[in-house]
Amino acid sequence: MRELTGAEAVREALREELARDERVYLVGEDIGVYGGSFGVDEGLIEEFGPERVREAPISEAAIVGTSVGAALLGMRPVVEIMFSDFVALAMDQLVNQAAKLRYMSGGQLKVPMVVRTPCGAGTGAAAQHSQSLEAWYAHVPGLLVAMPSTPYDAKGLLKAAIRDDNPVVFLEHKLLYKVKGEVPEGEYTIPFGEADIKRAGTDVTIVATSMMVHNALEAASDLEARGISAEVLDPRTLVPLDERAILESVGRTGRLVIVHEAPERGGFGGEIAAVVAGSDAFHRLEAPIKRVCGSNTPIPFNKMLEKHAMPTREGIVQGVLEVTGY
């Protein structure tokens, strides 16, 4: 099977959906001639023109607000916010308008829009360009939230997001854009709410999101050398969350380590832990639930400090050793 980078997989999904449905259009800052801040949109304005690939002024509030209106009138906008940190400038439009209108209208209105945005640290972009804010969006009823970890998942989930009649926050880790992975050439989508077991195991379940899935897989290889079999489960979407897959995995292994890049305090890992604690799987746990998360601090600019603020392969191994008693 061919291999694509994360950026190529996202671009292919956008190209296919633009060609499939004339109601789909892209809008964002520098997504036209420049091709987007990470090059994801390269070539799309030449192929589809400025009406379908719309350059926007530097106003996230205006970009998201006008997209809500367009979605209400039957269009399917795909918004690109240059950095996920900048979604904060459009939280009123996203949280109080896009997320609420279908409910407030009794289902008479639909808001089929996607907010694509690069998230995460690891690039030395410092505190205002490196955050992982998925817990914000997952907290808001009415918003769907996706966090792909592979090019395959990025393409399939994005196509599903664009076709959904609800507003979707689609979080693309910056480091994912250069990661290569197998992507089939044929048409496919990945339904929201279906987790994926990236590696099967018997001794401990590691639930990891976004780029932390790759750290977890590396840690699982290290643990295998110590005789520990780790199962790595990627939820792929936080809303809806595949609780069944998580509970089944924890029920099999009896141990749970949760890994995410966002700060531990108030992070989505607490929600996953609560799901397990409130289920029958809790009684099968042989050790307390462990979280391996980002530090409760802004992301530093200094490379060494930045690495220290993020979960590492070694930190995940240590977390698993704690719950397995090795």
- Predicted pLDDT of residue 276: 98
- Predicted pLDDT of residue 1: 87
- Predicted pLDDT of residue 87: 98
- Predicted pLDDT of residue 326: 80
Judge whether 238 and 170 are in contact, CB under 8 Å. no
Q: Using pLDDT thresholds of 50, 70 and 90, give the confidence band for residue 116.
A: very high
Q: Cα–Cα–Cα angle for 59, 178, 212, nearest 5°?
A: 85
**Alpha-carbon dihedral angle through residues 32, 38, 42, 45, given to the nearest 10 degrees:** -20
Output the six-digit token pair for 267: 């992070």
pTM of the model: 0.97
Taking the CA of residue 43 as centre, how many other CA atoms within 13 Å lie in the half-sphere pointing to its CB? 8
In angstroms, the CA 264 to CA 170 distance is: 21
- Predicted pLDDT of residue 15: 98
Q: Which residue has the tokens 């998360």?
A: 293
Q: Write down the H helix ranges in 101-211.
A: 101-104, 134-138, 151-163
User: Is the predicted pLDDT of residue 74 greater than 90, yes or no?
Assistant: yes
- For residue 163, the Cα-to-chain-centroid distance in whole angstroms is 17
What residues act catalytically?
129
In angstroms, the CA 83 to CA 169 distance is: 13
- Predicted pLDDT of residue 264: 97
**Domains of the chain, start order:** 3-182 (3.40.50.970), 196-324 (3.40.50.920)
